[in-house]
Amino acid sequence: MSKASTTTTIDAAEAAHFGKLAADWWNPKGSSAMLHKLNPVRLEFIRDAIDGHWSADGSSFRPLTGKTALDVGCGAGLLCEPLARLGAQMTGVDAAPESIAIAATHAAEGGLAIDYRCADVAGMAEQFDLVTSMEVIEHVTDPADFLAALRDRLADGGLMVLSTPNRTPKSRLAMITLGEGLGAIPKGTHDWDKFLTPDEMQDLLRDAGLVAGEMRGIAFSATAGLHLSDDLSLNYIFTATRA
């Protein structure tokens, strides 16, 4: 195994940016509209990964019953809530206190028991069967340290699912020039230079003592909207397990 995972990788400016957006996070028509559209697509991948990893029945409604799960960079809980409904005993951590406050209120009002903490994954001690982190690694100060911290939170036999934008001319055009330019994605959300290619990701995972499983692209087309695809050029989602 590689480095210790106790150094913080939180970028304070990034955390503050997302904190400001928190209030609108649960509005499907607000500044997070894109995230709401993305959510079912991510969940489709995650559900398949869960069924595959634990040989769960694909038609069941609560495949995560009896499992613990951690979402790192949980924002207002867009992913935590579905995972809790799927039966997981759920923990969500985020660096922005505003997001955690919104997340906790939303879950309580919806009758979902989720343990939300304003915390750095690097400072945590417990381990979880499922560890997820969607669109976070491109925002941290040191991706290698961040992956090491995620790895340390993974229980034996656990499953990790991550997603992140690819660093291609297409992703720059789609996510920054068009997405942020036209207002579909809040301005200042992305720093293209920090995006990682799938090859770079494979190297980082290996160095962290993890093996990548299946990688799928999240692509966009006018007819199908956002969908899972073999085209990784925009955004990709993948599983990882301990080596």
Partner 1 sequence: MDSHDIIILGGGLIGQTMALALDVHGLKSVVIDPVDPAGTLTTEFDGRVTAISSSSWKMFDAIGIGPRMREEACPIRRIEVRDGADGRPLDFETDDMADPLGLMLENRVLRRELWAMIQKAPHVTRKFGVTAETLDRGDHRVTACLSDGTTVTAPLLLVCEGRYSSTRDAVGINVAAWDYASMSIVTALDHAIPHQNIAHQIFYPGGPVALLPMNPGTRSALVWSLPDDHAKAAMKLGDRAFLAEVSRVTADILGDLSFAAPRALYPLHFRHTAKMTEKRLALVGDAGHGIHPIAGQGFNLGLRDVAVMAEVLVDGARLGLDLGDAQLLARYQRWRAGDVMAVTFACDSLVRLFGLPGKAARAVRRFGLDAVQRAKPVKDLFMSEARGESGNLPMMLQGLRV
Query: Which SS3 state, helix, strand or coil, does residue 137 take?
Result: helix
Residue 66 touching partner 1 (CB under 8 A): no
Cα distance between residue 195 and residue 203, in whole Å: 14
Q: Which is nearer to partner 1, 84 or 147 (CB)?
A: 84
Q: How many chain residues interact with partner 1 (CB under 8 A)?
A: 24
| 83 counts as binding partner 1 under rule CB under 8 A | yes
159 binds partner 1 (CB under 8 A): no
According to the binding rule CB under 8 A, does residue 84 interact with partner 1? yes
Say how many C-beta atoms besides its own lie within 10 A of residue 55's C-beta. 8
In this structure, are residues 163 and 237 in contact, taking their beta carbons and an 8 Å threshold? yes
Closest CA to 50 of 85, 92, 93: 85
39 binding partner 1? (CB under 8 A): yes
d(CA 240, CA 243): 9
Q: Does 60 bind partner 1 (CB under 8 A)?
A: yes
Assigned token pair, 228: 């899972």
The contact mask relative to partner 1 for 4-33 (x = CB under 8 A, - = no) is ------------------------xx----
Name which of 216, 167, 175 is nearest 195 in CA terms: 167
3-state secondary structure of 5: coil
Residue from 59, 125, 156, 222 touching partner 1 (CB under 8 A): that is 59
Which residue among 82, 92, 165, 179 contacts partner 1 (CB under 8 A)?
Answer: 82
Structure tokens at 36: 């709401």
Question: What are the helix and strand counts (H, E) for the chain?
Answer: 7, 8
Residue closer to partner 1 by CB (options 52, 198) is 52
Stretch touching partner 1 by CB under 8 A, among 105-113, 121-129, 182-190, 232-240: 105-113
Residue 222 binds partner 1, judged by CB under 8 A: no
Q: What residue ranges bind partner 1 (CB under 8 A)?
A: 28-29, 36-37, 39-40, 43-44, 47, 58-61, 81-86, 109-111, 223-224
